[in-house]
Amino acid sequence: MLTSLKQKLVELELYLLKSDVRASPEELNILIHDDFHEFGAFGASFGKKDVLERLPKEKCPNFCATSFELRMLSKDLSQLLYRATMKKQDEFNTRYSLRSSLWKFNEDLDEWQMIFHQGTPCEPF
């Protein structure tokens, strides 16, 4: 079961990194939990409302995510840890980060939703 859940959550995480998904408030609304909170790379924090307003207006960076690990925190809460590189379209340098997302199972929707995310800058890997 953990293998299939890990596959499901990795697919959802990668789906959220796609430009067409990030540009769609409707898609984001489904994938992001109402109680969502994020700590950004530079210390800012965001809620769901902020993300729904901000992400669709941004140019989507190019992401590459690897080394996924799944931790079950409870029967309806999972943590996905991974490494990511990000390169914005108007920047030369690649950014490296360690990332953590909490995914909560929403029984009303019968679906997993991201409830927390943090990306922490790190040295190149």
CATH at 18: 3.10.450.50
What is the reported pLDDT for 34?
98
What is the reported pLDDT for 56?
95
In Å, what is the CA distance from 26 to each residue of 19, 87, 108, 114, 123? 14, 25, 17, 15, 35
Does position 92 have pLDDT exceeding 90, yes or no? no
**Per residue in 37-86, pLDDT tens?**
999 888 899 999 999 999 999 999 999 999 999 999 999 999 999 999 99
What is the reported pLDDT for 88?
86
What is the reported pLDDT for 55?
93
Number of domains in the chain: 1
Which strand ranges, in their side-by-side order, compose the sheet holding 62-74?
45-47, 32-39, 111-121, 95-106, 77-87, 62-74
Note down the domain range covering 52. Answer: 2-121
pTM over 0.85: yes
